[in-house]
A and B are shown apart, each in its own frame.
Chain A
Amino acid sequence: MERRTIFSGWLLPVVLVLPQLALTVVFFLWPAGQAIWSSMTRTDAFGIRTMFVGLENFSDLFTDPLYLDTIERSVFFCAAVAALSMGVALVLASAADREIRFRGLYRVLLVWPYAIAPAVAAVLWILLLHPQIGLIGRWLNSIGIPWDYKLNDTQAMLVVILASAWKQVSYNFIFFLAGLQSIPRAIIEAARMDGARGFFRFRTVVLPLLMPTVFFLLVVNLVYAAFDTFATIIALTDGGPGKATETLVVKVYRDGVVNLDIGSSSAQSVVLMAGVIVLTALQFRFLGRRSGGG
Chain B
Amino acid sequence: MASLVLENLRKNFGAVAVLHGIDLAMASGEMLVIVGASGCGKSTLLRLVAGLEVPTGGRILLDGSDVAPLDPAERDIAMVFQNYALYPHMSVFDNMAYGLRIRGVAKDAIRTRVDSAAEMLGLTPLLMRKPRQLSGGQRQRVAMGRAIVRQPKLFLFDEPLSNLDAKLRVQMRAEIRRLQRRMAVTSLYVTHDQVEAMTLGDRLLVLHQGRPVQLATPMEVFENPANTYVAGFIGAPSMNLFPAALSHGGTAAVFSPGQVIAFTDGRRPGADGRKLILGIRPEHVAIDPAGMELQIDLIEPLGSETVVIGRLPDGELFSVKLPGAAPAGESMAVSIPAAHLHVFDAETGLRLDPAG
Q: A interface vs B, CB < 8 Å?
A: 184, 186-187, 189-197, 200, 204-205, 208-209, 294
Are B85 and A205 touching (Cβ within 8 A)? no
Are B98 and A187 touching (Cβ within 8 A)? no
> B71 within 8 Å of A by Cβ?
yes
The main secondary structure of chain A at its interface with chain B is helix
- A200 and B73 alpha carbons, distance in the complex (Å): 12
Are B85 and A194 touching (Cβ within 8 A)? no
| 0/1 interface trace, chain B 82-102, chain A, CB 8 Å (1 if under) | 110111110000000011001
The main secondary structure of chain B at its interface with chain A is loop
Contact of A205 among B81, B87, B150 (CB under 8 A): B87
Are A194 and B89 touching (Cβ within 8 A)? no
Instruction: Find the A residue at minimum CB distance from B81.
Output: A186
Are B83 and A186 touching (Cβ within 8 A)? yes
Count CB-based A-B contacts (< 8 Å). 59
Contacts of B77 in A (CB 8 A): 193
> B79 within 8 Å of A by Cβ?
yes
Are A187 and B87 touching (Cβ within 8 A)? yes
Contact of A189 among B52, B103, B132 (CB under 8 A): B52
5 A-B residue contacts at CB 8 Å? Answer: A189-B52, A193-B77, A196-B73, A196-B98, A209-B89
- A186 and B131 alpha carbons, distance in the complex (Å): 15
A193 CB to closest chain B CB, in angstroms?
Answer: 5
Are A189 and B73 touching (Cβ within 8 A)? no
Are B102 and A196 touching (Cβ within 8 A)? yes
- A195-B73, A200-B102, A294-B132 given as contacts; is B88 within 8 A of A190 (CB)? no
> Which of B50, B71, B87 is the most central at the interface, judged by chain A CB atoms within 10 Å of its CB?
B87
Q: B interface vs A, CB < 8 Å?
A: 50-52, 71-73, 77-79, 81-83, 85-89, 98-99, 102-103, 132, 146, 150
Contact of A194 among B51, B52, B71, B98 (CB under 8 A): B98
- A209-B88, A294-B132 given as contacts; is B81 within 8 A of A195 (CB)? no
Are A208 and B72 touching (Cβ within 8 A)? no
Contact of B73 among A184, A187, A197 (CB under 8 A): A197
B72 CB to closest chain A CB, in angstroms?
Answer: 5
Contacts of B50 in A (CB 8 A): 189, 193
- A189-B52, A189-B81 given as contacts; is B88 within 8 A of A194 (CB)? no
Are B89 and A208 touching (Cβ within 8 A)? yes
- A189 and B72 alpha carbons, distance in the complex (Å): 9
Contacts of B78 in A (CB 8 A): 193
Instruction: Find the B residue at minimum CB distance from A208.
Output: B89
- A197 and B103 alpha carbons, distance in the complex (Å): 12
> Which of B50, B99, B150 is the most central at the interface, judged by chain A CB atoms within 10 Å of its CB?
B99
Are A192 and B73 touching (Cβ within 8 A)? yes
A231 CB to closest chain B CB, in angstroms?
Answer: 39
Contacts of A194 in B (CB 8 A): 98-99, 102, 146, 150
Contacts of A208 in B (CB 8 A): 89
A74 CB to closest chain B CB, in angstroms?
Answer: 34
Contacts of B72 in A (CB 8 A): 189, 192-193, 195
B185 CB to closest chain A CB, in angstroms?
Answer: 15
Contacts of A209 in B (CB 8 A): 88-89
Contacts of A195 in B (CB 8 A): 72-73, 99, 102-103
- A196 and B51 alpha carbons, distance in the complex (Å): 13
Are B85 and A187 touching (Cβ within 8 A)? yes
A182 CB to closest chain B CB, in angstroms?
Answer: 12
Instruction: Find the A residue at minimum CB distance from B75.
Output: A193
A238 CB to closest chain B CB, in angstroms?
Answer: 46
Contacts of A204 in B (CB 8 A): 98
Extra contacts besides A194-B102, A200-B102 (8): CB < 8 Å: A189-B52, A192-B72, A193-B50, A193-B52, A194-B150, A196-B102, A197-B71, A205-B87
Instruction: Find the B residue at minimum CB distance from A186.
Output: B85
- A184 and B88 alpha carbons, distance in the complex (Å): 11
The 6 closest A-B pairs by CB, nearest first: A194-B99, A186-B85, A190-B85, A195-B73, A208-B89, A195-B102
